[in-house]
Amino acid sequence: MIPRALLLTLTFTLGTALGSGPAQAASCGIFGLTVPNPQVLVALEKKAGCTFQHVRWFQDWNQPFNQEYARLLSQKGRTLDLSWQPRYVSKGKLVGVPYRDIAAGKHDRFITQFARDIKRGGKTVSISFAPEMNGDWGVYQLTSKNTPAHFKQAWKRIVHIFWREKAPVRWVWTPNILYPTALSSYRELYPGDGYVNEIGLDGYNWGTTNPWNRWKTFAQTFDESYVAIKQITSKPMQLGELSSVEKGGDKAQWILDACRQLPKYARVKKAFWFHINDGRVDWRLTTSLASLQAFRRCAPGTALK
């Protein structure tokens, strides 16, 4: 749904910045955060008055696992979530890695090294391979030559390699919310409970930012897809990406409503706010003072016991 030219670079000096967050601040509860770098994380925590225990970042296919970033984010007991995208940049353009090539073993050396790097880091990482794989807007998503069967074969091959290397990874299967032109059902894309630890679900309220969009409440955004997921697996869930725009409605009220609705989604244990301005749409919690204040009012109250 959202272009993710978000490859993160990190220097050792950011360790100081990350350590300067609110030392005794309350947890932000069920909410995690997707950010472009640790400095943004620290700045938002100061504004929000709470600490995000769950942090997500993106990584493309030809990049080594960033152990330094993982170490820094694991401070204060943070959990680490990685959206691992099978794509790379070639001559200034994004190129998708075909699932069938992964399934055929053509990338085994890279996958093996990635698993070994995570193991060497010593921290458990949750990985969402090919997030929003059911979409039709990204270079690694479904086509007539990049099928659901290829996806499942690729997923299982990757997991087997990580098992062989004994890398501490939790596997999160993360489709986009249902939409009318999807090329595959959830059931056709699901690798099976034996290969998945957790279910993710990405969804956004686009408001009226596009002619084809309309304002949707939190429930209108997620209800149908949540029910569909429950029909194929009983695995615990997270909202891997969620956000709302300001245009077309009341974003502050949307946030408050999300906090009221989330306890009804009994399987959802984490909800990652997409705190990024992607150049077309500003999804951050700080797009208005009212939106930030709404989050401050509700976030600690969503903590799950």
Determine the Cα–Cα distance for residues 26 and 146; give it in Å rounded to an integer.
45
The predicted pLDDT at position 71 comes to: 80
Mean of the pLDDT values across residues 268-294? 96
pLDDT category at 222 given cuts 50, 70, 90 is very high
Contact of 139 with 166, CB cutoff 8 Å: no
205 three-state secondary structure: strand
pLDDT category at 302 given cuts 50, 70, 90 is low
Residue 229 has pLDDT above 50, yes or no: yes
Q: Which residue has the higher pLDDT, 76 or 289?
A: 289
Determine the Cα–Cα distance for residues 166 and 162; give it in Å rounded to an integer.
6
Determine the Cα–Cα distance for residues 73 and 53; give it in Å rounded to an integer.
9
Percent of the chain whose predicted confidence (pLDDT) is above 70 = 90
User: Computed over its alpha carbons, how large is the radius of gyration of the chain?
Assistant: 18
pLDDT category at 69 given cuts 50, 70, 90 is confident
Dihedral sign for Cα 15, 17, 20, 25, please: negative
Residues with Cβ within 8 Å of 268's Cβ and at least 6 positions away in sequence, in order, are 30, 226, 237, 238, 239, 262
The predicted pLDDT at position 22 comes to: 43
pLDDT category at 21 given cuts 50, 70, 90 is very low
Give, as one character, the DSSP assignment of residue 139: T
Residues recognised as catalytic: 132, 241
Residue 234 has pLDDT above 80, yes or no: yes
Mean of the pLDDT values across residues 169-192? 96
pLDDT in tens, 167-177: 999 999 999 99
Residue 41 has pLDDT above 70, yes or no: yes
The predicted pLDDT at position 225 comes to: 98
The predicted pLDDT at position 300 comes to: 79
Mean of the pLDDT values across residues 46-69? 91
* Matching CATH number, 14-302, of 3.20.20.80, 3.90.550.10, 3.10.20.30, 3.40.50.720: 3.20.20.80
3-state SS of 102-146 is HHCCCCHHHHHHHHHHHHHHCCCEEEEECCCCCCCCCCCCCECCE
Average pLDDT, the chain: 90
Domain ranges of the chain: 14-302
pTM here is: 0.91
The predicted pLDDT at position 38 comes to: 85
Among the residue ranges 12-16, 176-180, 295-299, the one predicted with the least confidence is 12-16
pLDDT category at 68 given cuts 50, 70, 90 is confident
Percent of the chain whose predicted confidence (pLDDT) is above 90 = 79
Determine the Cα–Cα distance for residues 247 and 186; give it in Å rounded to an integer.
30
Q: Which residue has the higher pLDDT, 230 or 305?
A: 230
Backbone angles phi, psi at 173, to 5 degrees: -90, 115
